[in-house]
Amino acid sequence: GIQVEQSPPDLILQEGANSTLRCNFSDSVNNLQWFHQNPWGQLINLFYIPSGTKQNGRLSATTVATERYSLLYISSSQTTDSGVYFCAGHYYNQAGTALIFGKGTTLSVSS
Amino acid sequence: KAGVTQTPRYLIKTRGQQVTLSCSPISGHRSVSWYQQTPGQGLQFLFEYFSETQRNKGNFPGRFSGRQFSNSRSEMNVSTLELGDSALYLCASSLDRITGELFFGEGSRLTVL
């Protein structure tokens, strides 16, 4: 079936620690994106990463499309990194193109 | 460059009423898609509009509808509200289609009493 699975579901870190979030996606899912949901509910676009590696400051992401997974790395975590991280990808159904999200990883960074 | 703008941000309705939410995409973006987020079901795709046409719809009842105007602004409507429609409704815009990079608005938080 069409699936996007994220792990771990919850992650607790001390400020300054590094972390890796994983997103596994099924064959029919493509064009992975990573988002951070802030406390007010807005989804902030982190990376649009169908394949390869991208970096933005302390964050980087790698998608290995042939093996159907993507990783989000957070280095030297800060309390402001807390929140829920989602990965999402698009798939085709009978009616057209749709988007599917994982259930998210809730990150808590304490000082 | 202004981001995606959603209005209203918060609203409270009672069962049986209807609600209309608005989404203004980033200038130049032609695709608008809508999503419902609830604690139980997570983030679910509602529909996508492109060139004033609905391109796809998620698994939601007919009470959920939408439209897109010639300036790419979009509205979604929920009629005959039920308690279970309480949710955060998010819209996203992308330059071309939903397969491209998506940018989300701040959401409209609907409470149905």
pLDDT string in tens for chain B (113-residue length) = 679 999 999 999 999 999 999 999 999 999 999 999 999 999 999 999 999 999 999 999 999 999 999 999 999 999 999 999 999 999 999 998 878 899 999 999 999 99
* Mean pLDDT for the stretch of residues A93-105: 90
Give the whole-angstrom CA distance, residue A72 versus residue A51.
13
Q: Is the pLDDT confidence value at A38 over 90?
A: no
Q: How far is A48 from chain B (nearest CA, A)?
A: 6
* Alpha-carbon gap, residue A12 to A61, rounded angstroms: 20
Interface with A, mutate which of B56, B86, B91, B106 (most A CBs under 10 A): B56
Count CB pairs under 8 A between chains A and B.
65
Q: Is the dihedral of CA B10, B73, B31, A51 positive or negative?
A: negative
Of A48, A96, A103, the CB nearest to B101: A48
Query: For chain A, what percent of residues have pLDDT higher than 70?
Result: 100
Joined together, the tokens standing for residue B49 give: 């509009």
Q: Which tens digits make up the pLDDT trace of A41-80? A: 889 999 999 999 999 999 999 999 999 999 999 999 999 9
pLDDT confidence of residue A1: 87
Per-residue pLDDT, averaged over A22-51, amounts to 94
What's the pLDDT score for residue B99? 81
Residues of A in contact with B48 (CB under 8 A): 96-98
Handedness of CA A88, A91, A94, A98 (dihedral sign): positive
A 68-107 near B (Cβ less than 8 A): 86, 88, 90, 93, 95-101, 103-104
Instruction: Pick the closest to residue A30 from A84, A74, A70 (CA basis).
Output: A70
Q: Which of B41, B47, B49, B27 is nearest to B88 (CA)?
A: B41
Closest to A97 (Cβ–Cβ): which among B43, B56, B105?
A: B56
Whether residue A95 has pLDDT greater than 90: no
Residue of A4, A30, A36, A43 to mutate, interface with B, max B Cβ within 10 Å = A43
> Considering only CA atoms, which of A41, A24, A94, A51 is closest in space to residue B43?
A41
From CA A45, how far away is CA B102, in angstroms rounded? 7
Contact A103 B99 (CB under 8 A): no
Using a CB–CB cutoff of 8 Å, tell me whether B51 touches chain A.
no
Residue A75: predicted pLDDT: 97
Mean predicted confidence (pLDDT) in A85-107: 92
Average pLDDT, chain A: 95
Restricting to B residues 71-110, those with a Cβ less than 8 Å away from any Cβ of A are: 88, 90, 92, 97-107, 109
CB contact under 8 A, A98 and B92: no
**Would you state the pLDDT for residue B1?**
65
Give the pLDDT of residue A87: 98
Q: Does A94 score more than 90 pLDDT?
A: no
Q: Are the C-beta atoms of residues B106 and A40 closer than 8 Å to each other?
A: yes
